[in-house]
A and B are shown apart, each in its own frame.
Chain A
Amino acid sequence: MREPGALVGAWQLLAPKWQMARHRVRKHQPGDLRRSVVVGALGVAFWAAVFVISLKLLRYFRSAEDIGDLLAGKLLSMILLSFMSILLLSNTIAALSNFFLARDLDQLAAAPVKPWALYRARLAETAMHSSWMVALLLLPLIAAFGTAYRGGFVFPLFALLVFVPFLCIPAAAGSAVTLLLVNVFPARRTRDLLSVITALAVCGLVVLFRAARPEQLARPEGFQNFMQFIAALDAPSSPWLPSEWVSDALMNFLQGSASWEPLARLWGTTALLVAIGGSLHARGWARGFSQAQEGASRRTVPGSKQPLLERLLSPLNPTRRQLVLKELRVFARDSTQWSQLVMLAVLLVVYVANVRYLPLSGEGMTALLRNVIPFLNLALAGFVLASIAARFVFPSVSLEGRALWLLRSSPFSMRDLLWAKFWVGAVPLLVLALILVGATNMMLGVRTFVHIVSLAAIVAMVFPLTAMALSYGTFYPQFDSENAAQIPTSFGGLLFMMSGIVLIGAVAYLTGRPAARFLVAEHFGWARDPVTMVLPFVVALVLCIAATVAPLMMARRRLDGLERG
């Protein structure tokens, strides 16, 4: 049947995505049940933990008269502000992929699809891709608010009414920013575009966090009097931010006062941004999409001179040199990898900035505490490194995918391949680890002893984390996946993260605990024996060496098996 003049709508454009999701759910593979149970149990445990901690905190706040509700509202608006900035950034990056780089766009561009329909479909996809994790994180937190304030059965519905526009606003704003950037950049090089997004995101985040001045609230003694503290709590961080409107709407609802005004602002802003985004899309998408395809051509500048990197790697044998160069080039030219680097850069800035603004100079803040914090920081930095290893080292073997025939049929040892992948992963992680821990140590102004122990511990962690990521990636490869960003979300990625956390915990405990005990003893003038630190340090070292060598050996055997298979 053909309807005269009928054109495809947004729902029809989304239909393949629903159908594919349905097929994925229906199609069971061996091990699916085990994976679902492990992932489900971890998810429930995480939700329960967030819910319980949030509920305890809120009940504690509520017990404080006058300021309890204000503190709860402030906490909510700060969390939402953080989430909103993450959402804005991830939507901007997801929009680049969904609106301009997705492989199914060729078919849609050649079909008579109305711009408005395409815009709505891609906007919905962008919002879904970018927001699902934030939505899942928000769920236990908002449930805790509802429980603590006895929101009743209507509260979940009201929360839904509030959070739908909250998730849509960054999607509409982010995709509009991407559309403008793609149209403005004449050279159309994805990397240029992403570096602009990074710069904007970093500036935006720093401004947002400085506007909120969260450290102020942790130091009530910094205010001249109690009323000033209350006033600071009561004042919105910015009345123009949607996160503030969400916080207002929810807190008003929970306290039984009128919440229609912030709700109207949220929905009104959503409608306005979607209308502006749709209008921009109708005018600029075709041009931007055309330019986006031109970006792939003529990236490199030909020259007779040997590149610096090749000269630096010249001491290596030719096979290893070529493998390392291949790894670096493929990584540098893959826009999906770059977009993740953008996220990473922003998170690192936030991480270091948070340490910078820790309230460490007030009353009661001793030199001892400043020198013990680096050992807590060690575990956090280790977790950051494990996440980065999961994102960039874990997919490394999977990404060989369709080129595996070349490796299988070539006369070189899989040891060389692993060697190249290991060092290409480990060296940047090492630099990052030194910056993370070194910079935060310097900001805290720690003693040389603490500096040396924490740096040595984080350096020791880098190698086993890289080796484990590589090994788990070899045992749980996803050769068919074309998007490197999706590979770590697999079952193997989850197992790596769990093992990585165990290792980080063990090393942080084995190094941090004796060092901290030594510092405490020294501080209070108790008897101290530096020799007691030697055994745990040696155990940590042995553990790190074993966790580096064993996974690499196993990965090599596995790859040799693949070669024969």
Chain B
Amino acid sequence: MIEIASLCKRYGSFTAVRSLDLVVSAGELFGFLGPNGAGKTTTMRMIAGILQPTSGSVKIAGHDVRTNPLEAKRALGFIPDRPFIYEKLTGMEFLRFAAGLYGEHGAEVDRRGMELLALFDLDNWRDELVESYSHGMRQKLIIASAFIHRPPVIVVDEPMVGLDPKSAKILKELFREYTKRGHTVMMSTHTLEIAEGMCDRIGIMQRGELVACGTMEQLRGATGNDDALEDIFLRLTGDNVARELVEVLNA
């Protein structure tokens, strides 16, 4: 599980994340929403230990990322929004390397790598260099690399971008199955239908703050309307889009 307490991140005078408190339990699929620049990616990078918080703490599976980083990271699979893959490695080599970072190697890693590649229709590409992969194929390889060491917690930033419908469906099922087995998934997305259909709970960030958090029912209850997630999201993050649009077009 993920426990975030009073998490804060400042860049000079700009506050990207403002005193965030959040617990994502074991077996939960948590959707993390918010407009561009709301602080989602900064939060996720702090969870992964890539960025250091200005204050506050993050615990993964009970281990503090700051004081016990190795144990915390061992329990985590992180998929960034703009992942880097070594262009001159083959898909299988990259998976072996990713597993090696978590101290795993040998025939078991190869078997699991093949299974994951087959799951995402990449098995015929296993020995091709990553430079020849399309954007979607790279995304699938990165997702496979996050699952290769079977971490109890997965944190994933915008996983559906670039995926074909079949792969998107597989990924949704994979996340559901994973959480059913007691693992935790925290996912940021801009596709509100996906968040509404998949996630157990949804958190909405706005200007570095968590402005709403709960199940769909709880969110509807909080806004007082029987709305879809899109309406709730727009109400919480500013619904003057249509007016501004007309003003811009008339300008």
Do B129 and A286 touch (CB < 8 A)? no
Residues of A within 8 A of B104 (CB): 1-2
- Whether B14 lies near A7 (C-beta < 8 A) is no
Given A104-B86, A298-B12, A298-B14, CB of A110 within 8 Å of CB of B78: yes
- Interface residue from B69, B98, B107 paired with A112 (Cβ < 8 Å): B69
Among B50, B100, B108, point to the contact of A8 (Cβ < 8 A): B100
Instruction: Type the 1/0 row for A358-388, where 1 means its CB is closer than 8 Å to any CB of B.
Output: 0000000000000000000000000000000
- Please determine whether A6 and B103 come into contact, CB atoms closer than 8 angstroms: yes
A-B contact count (CB 8 A): 96
Contact status of A1 and B52, CB under 8 A, knowing A16-B89, A298-B14: no
Known: A1-B107, A23-B129, A113-B101. A297 touches B52 (CB 8 A): no
Q: Mark B33-55, 1 if CB is under 8 A from A, else 0.
A: 00000000000010011111000
Task: Evaluate contact between B100 and A12: CB separation under 8 angstroms.
Answer: yes
Is A7 in contact with B70, judged by CB distance below 8 angstroms?
Answer: yes
Contact B69 A15 (CB under 8 A): no
B80 interface contact, C-beta 8 A: yes
Interface string of B67-110 (1 = CB under 8 A from A): 00111011010101001101111100110011011111111110
Is the CB–CB distance between B70 and A106 below 8 Å?
no
Rounded to whole Å, the gap between the CB of A111 and the closest CB of chain B is 4
B101 touches A8 (CB 8 A): yes
Take A20-B88, A24-B88, A103-B84 as given contacts and tell me if A110 and B11 are in contact as well, using a CB distance cutoff of 8 Å.
Answer: no
In whole angstroms, what is the CA distance A480 to B88 when docked? Answer: 13
User: Smallest Cβ distance from A169 to chain B, in angstroms?
Assistant: 30
The count of residues in chain B whose C-beta lies closer than 8 Å to any C-beta of chain A is 40
**Closest chain A residue to B47 by CB distance?**
A110
Chain B residues within an 8 Å CB radius of A106: 50, 80, 83-84
Is A104 in contact with B84, judged by CB distance below 8 angstroms?
A: yes
A410 is an interface residue with CB less than 8 A from chain B = no
* Residues A15 and B100 in contact, CB atoms below 8 Å apart: yes
Instruction: Pick the interface stretch among A266-274, A287-295, A425-433.
Output: A287-295
B50 touches A109 (CB 8 A): yes
Interface set, chain A 1-39, CB cutoff 8 A to B = 1-3, 5-8, 12, 15-16, 19-20, 23-24, 27
Closest 5 CB pairs of A and B: A20-B88, A6-B103, A1-B106, A290-B52, A111-B101
Give the interface of B toward A (CB within 8 A): 11-12, 14, 45, 48-52, 69-71, 73-74, 76, 78, 80, 83-84, 86-90, 93-94, 97-98, 100-109, 129, 131
Please name 19 further chain A to chain B contacts, defined as beta carbons within 8 Å, in addition to the given A24-B88, A109-B49, sorted by A numbering: A2-B103, A2-B108, A7-B103, A8-B102, A12-B97, A16-B86, A19-B89, A20-B88, A20-B89, A103-B84, A106-B84, A110-B73, A110-B76, A111-B73, A111-B102, A112-B69, A113-B101, A290-B52, A293-B50
